[in-house]
Structure 1
């Protein structure tokens, strides 16, 4: 089995993959070169991070460089869990619906606050320097506490 076939086997559950060659011409509905490079290096995703930069391509979030990110994925402790938000690192966010992000994957800061609700929970927090500060309007037991964000799983 050549490296292209191995890569297709690795990625088949994640992407609709097509490879033109067994080298850098690999693509998959906007698959960035990092994925093929990561596979060749023997790792399936970037190192453990608290904020994973991603971009929306053909209806899917694909990991990317910070400068190319349209969104970030966080792993918020408590009922929220994995969360992907639209972000920008510069300019005004007025009218965009985006959060501003400091560009850090290890100590992310987002503005404004993050509010998530589900059928059984309400979670409202500030994300600052890689920590979630749960506000008093949360209805879960982490209300009023500040805790580190969790690492985003490699298969997120």
Structure 2
């Protein structure tokens, strides 16, 4: 793990992670040469730009979801049993990252949908 700046980490060569204040977790992209999806990166560790947009889906929002349980179901079961829900959620986070600003598109399922905010530092104790 390489700490490139307060807002950007390199978990392994060709991968970058940043903290998403909408999801409350890190998102990761791949850049440079190599297999799999790749994003462009302007090389700026303080005011990064990634192209094209970043789309993160979890739980029942993942294409091909077969309907057999998801985080919504798991958390509903925990609540029904009087337990605290876990940190995992079924979400869509669709963003543009431009000059250190995160533009949350309207298809995001969290509270920052439709807003643009500056990138934030990783919470204390979180590496990626």
Partner of 1:53: 10
Counterpart in the other structure of 1:115: 55
Aligned length: 96
Cα distance, 1:49 vs. partner? 2.1
For 1:75 and 1:103, the matched residues in 2 are separated by: 17
Q: Alignment partner of 1:113: what SS? A: strand
| Preserved CA contact (<8 Å) 1:53 1:105 | no
Q: Compute the TM-score of the two structures, normalised by the length of structure 1.
A: 0.53
8 Å contact kept, 2:46–2:100: yes
What residue number does 1:76 align with? Answer: 20
Over aligned residues, Cα RMSD in angstroms? 2.6
Q: 1-side partners of 2:103 and 2:4: how far apart?
A: 25
Residues 52 and 152, structure 1, Cα contact 8 Å, conserved in 2:
no
Residue aligning to 2:112: 142
In structure 2, what is the Cα distance between the partners aligned to 1:103 and 1:70?
12
Task: Report the 3-state secondary structure (helix = DSSP H, G, I; strand = E; otherwise coil) of the residue aligned with 2:31.
Answer: strand
- Distance, in Å, in 1 between the alignment partners of 2:52 and 2:102 is 13
Spell out, residue by residue over 1:43-98, the C-alpha distance to the aligned partner (whole angstroms, 9 max, x if none).
xx74752222342xxxxxxxxxxxxx41111111111521222112xx8x9x7511
Work out whether residues 51 and 104 of structure 1, in 8 Å CA contact, stay in contact via their aligned partners in 2.
no
Task: Give 1:149 shift.
Answer: 1.3
Cα distance per residue 1:110-155 (max 9 Å; x no partner): 0110111122211100011111100011122211100111113565
Q: With a CA cutoff of 8 Å and minimum separation of 6, indicate the structure with the bigger relative contact order.
A: 2
Structure 2 gaps of 5+ residues are 60-89
Bigger Rg, structure 1 or 2: 1
**Aligned equivalents of 1:108, 1:134: Cα separation in 2:** 16
